[in-house]
Structure formats: structure tokens, C-alpha cells
Amino acid sequence: MFGIRFIKAQPTVYMLQFCKGRVIREGVGLTFFYYAPTISLVAVPAASAESPFIFEEVTADFQSVTIQGQVTYRVADPKRLAALMNFTLDARGQGYVSEDPQKLPQRVINVVNVLARAELQRLPLREALRAADTLVQAVRKGLVGSAEIAQLGIEILGLSILAIKPTPETARALEAEAREQLLKEADEAKTATARPMEEEIVNDQVESSEESSEISASDAEPRKLHKRHRMAFMSRRGR
């Protein structure tokens, strides 16, 4: 009525009330009446936000990989952000007059993308697929020192890399190669196990042959002695 409106901001929203280009009221979770024709309201979300991302990059050996993850941040300096992006509310105080608030997550993701690209371009495919933890550390360090992030008044709270995947064709090739390697290792293990068994069998056969020879030799001695006794007996009888 007569242009007088009422607004009640959420506890996680930083409000700035402008009149003739000057800030006359500011703070988190403000509640007040205002005269819409002469007042501009800026509402900057101060709560933490999570922005998922997925993008494709190329490794040092020119192989495409897809990186999937999430970055968590919050606006630590609302006034700085409001000076760079338009968070002005409409006349009814129920929506934004520009698309800048929706663009903020993408601006953060773009910085993540640039930092991740710089790291992945130094790694060959096999290393890149196992470099999630290393990538998180490097990108997070880059975000903390990023001039663009600082200018936006943003504080990075967390970063996670959920997956680093090759293209489907490359994944199938890697699976086939890994399968062949496993089969090769299995064959080598079987060969290594069978070799001692074969040697043991040969040794058993040799020992058995030697024992048979000894038994044959021991059986032959009585026969020879018996033959000599018989020949001696026959000789005495003939006389």
C-alpha cells in the first residue's frame, strides 16, 4: 500500500538496503519496512552452497577423461560480491532482477575446471585415473590462492573428486589389457606350482629305480652263491 513493503530475510541471507546509492542498512536476517519507489534491496546468500560439476579434459598422452565432483563454498564477503555481481531484488522483493545469482556457481566451477585442466595435462592416462586425491589437493590449493575467487569474496569449504573416467572405448581397451595380464599371471603361477611337482615326481621315479636296482642286486647274490655250491657238489660227485 502506497509503496510501503515489508521484508523478512532468512538468517542465512545478507541484506543491503540502498537509498540514493548509499547503504543505509545491512546485515544478516534483517526484518524491516521500506518504501519501494526509493529503496533498492540487495540479498546475498551467506549459507554454504554445493555445486556439482562434470567436465571433460585431456591427459598428457592426449586421452580424454571425464571428471566428476563437487565444490562447497560460501560467500564470506557479501558486500564485495554485491559490488561485482547483481543480487538486487525486484520491486516486490521476491526475486532477482538479473541472472547473476544463478551464474555464481558456474563461475566457481570454471575456476575448478581451469585448475584441474592444468594438473591433468601433466599426467598420462594411467596416472590420471588414479590421481583423484592428488587432484583434489592441487585444485583446492589453487582455489585458496585464486585471485578470482578472492575478488568474489568466496571462501572454499570443500572439494571432492568423485570419479575420473576414460572414454568407453578406452575403458574397454584397459579392461581387456588388465584381463590378459591377469590370465598371464595365473598361467605363470600354475607353471611355477607345477614345476616343483614335476621335479618331485622325477625324483621319486629315480629313487624307486635305484631301490629296484638294489633289490635286484641283493636277490642275485644268493642265486650266484647257490649256483657255485651246486657246481662244486656235482664236481665232487663225478669224482
Q: Record the cell numbers describing residue 45, joined without a space.
A: 546468500
* Matching residue, cell 590449493: 141
How far from 135 is each of 18, 141, 167, CA to CA, in Å?
Answer: 43, 10, 19
Q: How far apart are CA 36 and CA 4, in angstroms?
A: 6
Give the pLDDT of residue 180.
75
The closest alpha carbon to 80, from 144, 148, 12, belongs to 148
pLDDT averaged over consecutive 10-residue blocks of the chain (239 residues)?
85 94 93 91 95 95 95 96 95 90 96 96 93 94 95 96 92 78 73 66 63 56 57 57
Q: How many CB atoms lie within 10 A of CB 87?
A: 24
Q: Check: CB of residue 107 under 8 Å from CB of residue 99.
A: no
Give the pLDDT of residue 171.
81
Q: Which residues pair with 9 in a beta bridge?
A: none
Give the pLDDT of residue 226.
55
Give the pLDDT of residue 3.
82
Q: Record the cell numbers describing residue 221, joined without a space.
A: 647274490
The closest alpha carbon to 42, from 62, 61, 21, 63, belongs to 21
How far from 16 is each of 48, 97, 142, CA to CA, in Å?
Answer: 19, 15, 31
How far from 137 is each of 155, 189, 206, 209, 216, CA to CA, in Å?
Answer: 16, 39, 64, 69, 79
Q: How far apart are CA 97 and CA 93, in angstroms?
A: 10
How far from 192 is each of 179, 183, 197, 202, CA to CA, in Å?
Answer: 20, 14, 9, 16
Give the pLDDT of residue 228.
63
Q: How far apart are CA 116 and CA 123, in angstroms?
A: 11
Query: Given its phi and psi angles, is residue 164 left (phi above 0), alpha (psi -120 to 50 degrees) or beta?
Result: beta
Q: How far apart are CA 113 and CA 20, in angstroms?
A: 40
